Structure 1
Amino acid sequence: MGRRRGPVVVEGLVCADVTVMAWADGERERWWARADALEHGLEQDDWAKAVSSADKLSDLEPEQVPWLFAKGPDSPARALLSTTAFLRHRQRVDLGRVAVARFELDARAYALGEAAESADELGLLVLPFRGPEAAALVAGWLRHLGSARLWARLWLGRHPEAAARALIPAAAGKPGRARQNAEAALRFLSAAGHGPLLIKTACGYGEQAQELVEALLDTEPELPAGRNRMAAGQLPEIRAAHGGVLPEDHVTRLLTALTRSSLDEAPEPAPGDPDRPVPLVVASSAAAQPLVREADPALAELLTSADRSSLAAFGRAMLDDWVTAGMPPAESWVLLAQAHLGDDTTMDALAPLVRSWPAKSRHARAVDGFAVLATAGSDVALRHLLAIEENMSGGPTNDRATVYLTRAAAVRGLSVTQLADRLAITHGLDTGVVVDYGTRSFRVRPDEHLVAHVVNADGRVLARPPKPGVKDTAPQAYQQFLQFKKDLRASAVEQAGRLERDMLRRRLRPARDIPGVLLPHPVLGPLARRLLWGEFDGRRLVRALRIAEDGSLADLHDDTAAVGPDTPLGIVHPADLRGDLGAWARLFADYEILSPFPQLGRPVVTLTDAELSATSLPGFGPLDGHRLVKLMSNGWHGNGYHIGSRVHTRLRRRLAGGLVLLAEFSPGMPTSQYPPDTEHRVTEIWVDAEWSENWQPVRRTPLGEVDPAVLSEALVVLYGTTD
């Protein structure tokens, strides 16, 4: 057999185009108008002199940068474009648009650098630049999952001829990432109807280039087969579906087909509008994630011919071999193939691996593992995915787990919360659990706090069964009961924690799920009955409701409340109740209802109507540096220091809905001296948009725009440091 030919390379092709500006109608004016949105706080009279005489522009104060680009002196502003000392402003979208509108080609390096560093958020900055550098940059974005791919498609659709001239030399070059990116971009242009333009442009590079482009557009991209060590004889035998063992040539064909296992085409990103005040941006980690591609007809036929249990064992052996070999990327198809081969035993084996990979910097493999679990979609697989998502510490990898969970739940017509409710383990209590000694048995009955007891033959409830005697033939049942009791208690704690997070994150359920899912569940039911629920309109509490003894819903006056089956219900936070908190607390005390986690007795900060309408709250104090450091380890972060002084002047905490809570304090605290002995005082507390630099002198956001539960939790932590 002859050697496989490599890709054709045409040497010496170069695109000599010069980058030019190619604005859409009115686009430059719209971008320049964003100068009014750049916040730089209280402008100082000496700023113009300071920037004109500065030895190093990198020493500018943070608030001087947006001022300089928006309306500062021309020469220092242009000089700043060539530095790398930008502070990665949260106003980067507006800052970039204003710089490009004002300085055009002089801002090219700055704009392309910003776009390359944060493609999802800042990829829109390349749109008016027409030239080879922009083409090479956006070609690499077509494989992204978030808004970067959207900006790439917009740029290619806007500059197809320039893209063709710039990318054909790369597509004819040596194998590598640049060639792959260029080929993908050219295929996109062809699919968008620009095939004749591509052929015409390729003619300008010569006959070889024309033939190469014609062949490229006439074929599907090859999937790399990788370095295949998986010889059929080194893996377990596969039983045939109707008896016997699959022959070796059949297994070899199966292995070859499995090497084509891959993720499906990425779902389209959400539509973005570069001219919005704050462009609609979807981060790659939060974008819709692709599942594993369905088996092609050849693979599907091979899978059908095999016994499923034997096939799953074969797949696990492949997975073990791949992991032992160090998980070579060229054979990552082995992981994705588990979506075709695996059963619940496979998912039990795969989940611990997936959970461990992020800590080993195997983030891409972990995301592939999420895809396998979500594609498998069985109860066992999704329970593992739920546990992984719930126990991760945050970040892009965790975001992808959440997106995969959302997609898997949607396949069942559910939200992630509803999915978690339905997959909560019952420990067999829904069908009955018995401690069976062989000669006698005891029925297990948990109490309302999910502590397991047993009922003997005469109906008496015992804390635990009597120890087995000499006549009992299954004495091990006693230890099994003790373990069951521990497992049930652990599940109760786990599910109570999940319900508490549902309260804090404002996760809602349709009212029909209370009697239909929660109350019949042997673990969730007792927990749900001990909580105060509420009917919500968005994040606003309409009315609070408790679950009465007969399973109906009752209001504060103990009257039965009629609720529609689709009405959103959620777990009430005490900040939602305002003046009714005391009455509900007394009612729960009268009925001796003890919540499974702090709810009505939870520390709470409830603002008055006047405070909710206000855009800031007064400060408090004193508090020392140790207390500030404690805040910074409890969800707050230092924010607002000045480059020259390196002094923190405020604390910042992220809230839901794209908002942040800020607390200004004085005197500032040096970032290099934690913690100083100086006493400090919080001078003001206010809310701002997360993307803002928070320097504006005027407060614009009423505190009432923040979810009351989220705001209360943040303020409890802030105020709690004064005790």
Structure 2
Amino acid sequence: MWWNVWDGARHLRALLAAAGDDVHGEAVDALASGTAQDESSLRWMLFCSLGTPGQVASLALRFGLGHPTIGVVATLVDGAGPAGAVPLLARSLDEPGIAAAHARLLANVLAALPADEAFQALLDRLDRKHVPVAAAAAADAFPARAVRLLAGSAAAGAPGAVELLTAQTITRPDLVDELLPGLPDESRAAIEALRASTARAPEAPPGTLPPLLTEPPWTRPRAGREPVVIKDLPYPGARTIDWEPGERDAWNVDLHHLWRWVDRLDWRVQVARFKRDELMSRNQPLLFVEGPEELVRPLLAGWEPPDVWDVAEWMRAVVHRFGLDAFDAAFAAASWNPAKAGGLLMPFLSDETALLMAGWLRRLQQPGATARAWFRRHGHAAVPALLPRALGAPGAGRDAAEAALRLIAAEHGPEGIVEAARVHGGAVVAAIEEFLSADPLEILPAKTPVPGGWADVRLLPRILLRDRAHALPDDAARHVLTMLLMSRPGDVFAGVGVVRELCDPGSLAEFGWALFTRWEANGAPAKEGWALTQLGLTGDDETVRRLAPRIRAWPGERGHAKAVNGLDVLASIGTDVALMHLHGIAQRVRFNALRGKAREKIEEVAAGLGLSAEELADRLVPDFGLDAAGAMTLDYGPRRFVVGFDERLKPYVTGEDGKRRKALPKPGAKDDPDLAPAAHKAFATLKKDVRTVAAGQLRRLETRMVTRRRWPVREFRELLAGHPLVRHIVRRLVWLADDGGTVTAFRVAEDGTFADVADDAVTFPEPALVGIAHPIDLDGSLPAWSELFADYEIMQPFPQLGRPVHRLEDGARGGWRLARFEGLTVPVGKILGLTSRGWRRGDPMDAGVECWISRSLPSGRFLVVELDPGIAVGAPDAMPDQTLRTVALTTLSPSRFWTDAEPTCAFADLDAVTASEILTDLTDLTAP
């Protein structure tokens, strides 16, 4: 192909350009025989031969695949001139499917050309990726031209042009004043209107700001005091393993199914091969997971596991089996694969582990999160391993150890650190006490970080003080940027707290969001990812509402790492709305990897509060400003409206006459000019926020009915029946209260009291447990409950009283496969529909095909349905009909299940509700 000879052809062209006429002629004759080549592969020669704007215009060509190299483009511009080359450059930029590198090159070339046509071509394409960054660079390179053309585009209402023009009016006011008289009337009007709309709040008076924002520590000469160094402090040298309750059992991963031939192996032969370094790397996990303990345990010391599949998974099984003896292997795996295997070290405490975790602390990605979790877990027990490095020679190692000690002091208190230092004597105690008493505002990095040029505070909203009458001067705002730059998740510069206390929260959030969007507009450079993480320090609920959709979308744009950092931002903001969105991502998002990370983050937040993930979810529903009765009054002045909710949590309004309205009316001329618009906006925000949680809450409670979740009476009253929003779902369901074996069905009345099927009031003592009734639970009382709800016209949020009930056939109870569903063919759309009922699509296998779908069941069981031919990822309609090849119950994870596996459980092990639910799903799936 042509690109294989491109370098040679380019070199030959350079030689011919310098050759004499006779040599050039001979070369032309020699090359004449090669003209039978495809014309498209020679097109670059044509581009390099164009010498006038007319030639470019007459061809109407695009560069095409691979042609826009810098050499070809530069030659084109040299021949046709800056203005003459623009049509070809612009057409090529419009080409569908253009590679990112080519789009960036063409946009940058247009930005470098002085012709008006080049800048206008960029302005016409500001909605394209890579163009806004190039247009900003062009505006800075040719500011007079930029002002002239941007003013015209802004007058026409182009949003991107308005932002670029705003930057010019703020950063080059004198130039704008100079050009203004010569601009057309509409352009002058656009600039004047822009200046009026961007008027800035007055600066805070001198002397009203703290020294941190006028003369911060990093702007002053640093004290030359040498750090206290105490050499050769001994390390503890001990290694221990400390399991959390239930943790070791959770690491007991059953991997026997991966090696079906394991029973045929001669283990002594395998051990001999391992000792001779002849055992293949892919078989080493098998040896340590399945081999006889008395033969394998002596081999663990110094073993470094190979970098093979799922090391974090199978190494958990090794650590569970051998405990502390598996430390060397776990440490080696974590060291070379910290992102995936770092969690293997969570139960271990040793010198090596503490220092490794300290080194990971300032990483933004997974290792940093793992290190913070490790120090939170081990706390003061890790201090002895850190002290020798923290008091050692200055350098990266000492900095990391000091950061770890500061984290431990913040999480667990400084007293335990001082106590650990006492074993080394008074000098060490004095040095540590001095370290811990240091002014946190004076704890600075060795080199003060500097933000990129895109982070120009003049182009960001001013940060208002709490009085909202004054703003931080630009110099003070630059100091705020420096503080944000010096902060990392889990290691926030102390001055950030001062800024948050001093400044208006909403204004600070707008500043942070504008900073983030400028970072994105400038290509989101990874090395300046602090622009994303700073949202965790500056952001508020509105930040969350803006950021959450981006987090959900980023993995589909090759932005998984950015999305994971976004989860950290939601956790750092930490409000009810932020955690609500984090939980929503953990429950439903298209990308499995992101969903898994969100669940880890939710579990981390829950653990910090002493709750389970489920218990946290119960507490993550905001009240949205509703009153105790679950309503909200919207005050328009002369008239009022009351907000209510239907069975799907869709808000509606009723007027003072009690009649429900189709929509909240817009404020009118007779309404209060302040109250009415505020109330109208509050209702719009309420609808948007409730829409975010409504579907999730309905799914959550329906799932809790099926999985038999129970709440203590007190929690039921506080978190469900008494919650301003959730109560609208609660009162539309039938509940069960179990008081030591006495089970009573009840509903929650309008006034919050409990009533049975006869509408008599009932009460329950504190020890009782409450859950959502399944029709199987109601048995003979089901018709009476259905009649009662019909009489009261109570609409249910999801099928409960009318829910289908199925029972296993006698022949199926003792088995592990449901043969009556196997071999049936169903549309792929119905398969995909199961995902809304708690089923999970399989992992993509060869050629990107998902070969199964599964549902997680209680007690570690799964129902796995194997599909033939499988679902094509990204093109499910490519194979529209799917045959249910196997429908099986198993304790193996779906990705490890295979058809000829040995049975591990039977359908008789399932409770009646679970059996009914899976039969309902399969019956609906296979119904004609």
Band the TM-score falls in, shorter-chain normalisation:
0.5 to 0.7
Aligned position for 1:564 = 765
Aligned position for 1:360 = 557
Percent identity over the alignment?
24
Does the C-alpha gap of structure 1 residues 393 and 602 become closer, same or farther in structure 2, counting only changes over 3 Å? farther
Q: Does 1:65 align with 2:268?
A: no
What is the correspondence of 1:363-442 to structure 2 with a 5 Å cutoff? 363-393=560-590, 395-405=592-602, 415-423=615-623, 426=626, 430-433=631-634, 441=639
Cα distance in structure 2, aligned partners of 1:401 and 1:647: 23
Secondary structure, in 3 states, of the residue corresponding to 1:535?
A: strand
Does the C-alpha gap of structure 1 residues 118 and 327 become closer, same or farther in structure 2, counting only changes over 3 Å? farther
What is the identity, as a one-letter code, of the residue corresponding to 1:400?
K
What is the identity, as a one-letter code, of the residue corresponding to 1:461?
K
Cα distance in structure 1, aligned partners of 2:396 and 2:669: 84
Secondary structure, in 3 states, of the residue corresponding to 1:330?
A: helix
Aligned position for 1:660 = 862
Q: Does 1:138 align with 2:138?
A: no
Q: Does 1:525 align with 2:525?
A: no
Q: How many equivalent residue pairs?
A: 597
Q: Does 1:626 align with 2:831?
A: no
What is the identity, as a one-letter code, of the residue corresponding to 1:655?
L
Secondary structure, in 3 states, of the residue corresponding to 1:113?
A: coil
Does the C-alpha gap of structure 1 residues 94 and 546 become closer, same or farther in structure 2, counting only changes over 3 Å? farther
Does the C-alpha gap of structure 1 residues 111 and 417 become closer, same or farther in structure 2, counting only changes over 3 Å? same
Cα distance in structure 1, aligned partners of 2:585 and 2:749: 35
How far apart are residue 111 of structure 1 and its match?
5.2
How far apart are residue 370 of structure 1 and its match?
2.5
| 1:81/1:107 contact within 8 Å kept | no
Aligned position for 1:599 = 800
Which one of the candidate residues 697, 703, 717 is aligned to 2:921? 717
Which structure exhibits the higher relative contact order, with contacts defined as CA atoms closer than 8 Å and separated by 6 or more residues?
1
Q: Does 1:350 align with 2:515?
A: no
How far apart are residue 589 of structure 1 and its match?
4.1
Aligned position for 1:228 = 451
User: How does the TM-score come out when normalised to structure 1?
Assistant: 0.61
CA deviations over 1:165-196 (Å, ceiling 9, x no partner): xx9xxx9xxxxx9x999x999xx999564689
Secondary structure, in 3 states, of the residue corresponding to 2:296?
A: helix
CA deviations over 1:384-415 (Å, ceiling 9, x no partner): 44554454236342233345446657878883
Does the C-alpha gap of structure 1 residues 534 and 431 become closer, same or farther in structure 2, counting only changes over 3 Å? same
| 1:534/1:541 contact within 8 Å kept | no
Q: Does 1:573 align with 2:774?
A: yes
Cα distance in structure 2, aligned partners of 1:75 and 1:598: 58
How far apart are residue 530 of structure 1 and its match?
1.5
| 2:576/2:620 contact within 8 Å kept | no
Aligned position for 2:484 = 258
How far apart are residue 571 of structure 1 and its match?
2.3
| 2:315/2:330 contact within 8 Å kept | no
Aligned position for 2:343 = 147
Cα distance in structure 1, aligned partners of 2:660 and 2:577: 34
CA deviations over 1:564-610 (Å, ceiling 9, x no partner): 357443322334445654554455445543312211212233459x8
Cα distance in structure 2, aligned partners of 1:356 and 1:338: 18
| 2:580/2:693 contact within 8 Å kept | no
| 1:632/1:638 contact within 8 Å kept | no
Cα distance in structure 1, aligned partners of 2:828 and 2:882: 13
Cα distance in structure 2, aligned partners of 1:83 and 1:494: 51
Cα distance in structure 2, aligned partners of 1:198 and 1:492: 52
Cα distance in structure 1, aligned partners of 2:339 and 2:346: 10
CA deviations over 1:248-288 (Å, ceiling 9, x no partner): 55444333222121122xxxxxxxxxxxxxxxxxxxxxxxx
User: How does the TM-score come out when normalised to structure 2?
Assistant: 0.50
| 1:533/1:571 contact within 8 Å kept | yes
| 1:669/1:676 contact within 8 Å kept | no
| 1:93/1:121 contact within 8 Å kept | no
Secondary structure, in 3 states, of the residue corresponding to 1:423?
A: coil
| 2:646/2:728 contact within 8 Å kept | yes
Higher helix share: 2
CA deviations over 1:213-255 (Å, ceiling 9, x no partner): 9867876596997662135555444445577554555444333
| 2:270/2:279 contact within 8 Å kept | no
Cα distance in structure 2, aligned partners of 1:254 and 1:136: 41
How far apart are residue 694 of structure 1 and its match?
7.1
Cα distance in structure 1, aligned partners of 2:854 and 2:666: 60
Which one of the candidate residues 289, 296, 311 is aligned to 1:101? 296
Aligned position for 1:554 = 755
Secondary structure, in 3 states, of the residue corresponding to 2:820?
A: strand
Does the C-alpha gap of structure 1 residues 103 and 361 become closer, same or farther in structure 2, counting only changes over 3 Å? farther
CA deviations over 1:589-640 (Å, ceiling 9, x no partner): 45543312211212233459x899x55367443754523967754367899x
Secondary structure, in 3 states, of the residue corresponding to 1:502?
A: helix
| 1:534/1:571 contact within 8 Å kept | yes
What is the correspondence of 1:294-305 to structure 2 with a 5 Å cutoff? 294-296=492-494, 298-305=495-502
What is the identity, as a one-letter code, of the residue corresponding to 2:732?
R
Cα distance in structure 2, aligned partners of 1:487 and 1:601: 31
CA deviations over 1:541-583 (Å, ceiling 9, x no partner): 9443222455322345554332235744332233444565455
CA deviations over 1:672-708 (Å, ceiling 9, x no partner): 99989999897x8544354975789875546465465
Does the C-alpha gap of structure 1 residues 109 and 377 become closer, same or farther in structure 2, counting only changes over 3 Å? closer
| 1:115/1:126 contact within 8 Å kept | no
| 2:506/2:540 contact within 8 Å kept | yes
| 2:532/2:566 contact within 8 Å kept | yes
| 1:647/1:669 contact within 8 Å kept | no
Cα distance in structure 1, aligned partners of 2:661 and 2:504: 47
What is the correspondence of 1:206-217 to structure 2 with a 5 Å cutoff? none
Aligned position for 1:499 = 698
Does the C-alpha gap of structure 1 residues 444 and 510 become closer, same or farther in structure 2, counting only changes over 3 Å? same
What is the identity, as a one-letter code, of the residue corresponding to 1:419?
R
What is the identity, as a one-letter code, of the residue corresponding to 1:121?
R
How far apart are residue 531 of structure 1 and its match?
0.8
What is the identity, as a one-letter code, of the residue corresponding to 1:599?
Q
CA deviations over 1:429-458 (Å, ceiling 9, x no partner): 73423677x6xx4645758657846446xx
What is the identity, as a one-letter code, of the residue corresponding to 1:688?
T
Does the C-alpha gap of structure 1 residues 580 and 193 become closer, same or farther in structure 2, counting only changes over 3 Å? same
Cα distance in structure 1, aligned partners of 2:605 and 2:300: 46
Does the C-alpha gap of structure 1 residues 598 and 263 become closer, same or farther in structure 2, counting only changes over 3 Å? same
Secondary structure, in 3 states, of the residue corresponding to 2:598?
A: helix
Structure whose alpha-carbon radius of gyration is higher = 2
Secondary structure, in 3 states, of the residue corresponding to 2:863?
A: strand
What is the identity, as a one-letter code, of the residue corresponding to 2:346?
L
Aligned position for 1:328 = 525
| 1:503/1:573 contact within 8 Å kept | no
Instruction: Give the stretch that moved more between structures: 446-455 or 500-509.
Output: 446-455
Instruction: Give the stretch that moved more between structures: 326-335 or 562-571.
Output: 562-571
Aligned position for 2:891 = 688
How far apart are residue 313 of structure 1 and its match?
3.3
What is the identity, as a one-letter code, of the residue corresponding to 1:712?
S
Does the C-alpha gap of structure 1 residues 149 and 611 become closer, same or farther in structure 2, counting only changes over 3 Å? farther
Aligned position for 2:316 = 121
What is the correspondence of 1:175-190 to structure 2 with a 5 Å cutoff? none
What is the identity, as a one-letter code, of the residue corresponding to 2:335?
A
Cα distance in structure 1, aligned partners of 2:380 and 2:480: 35
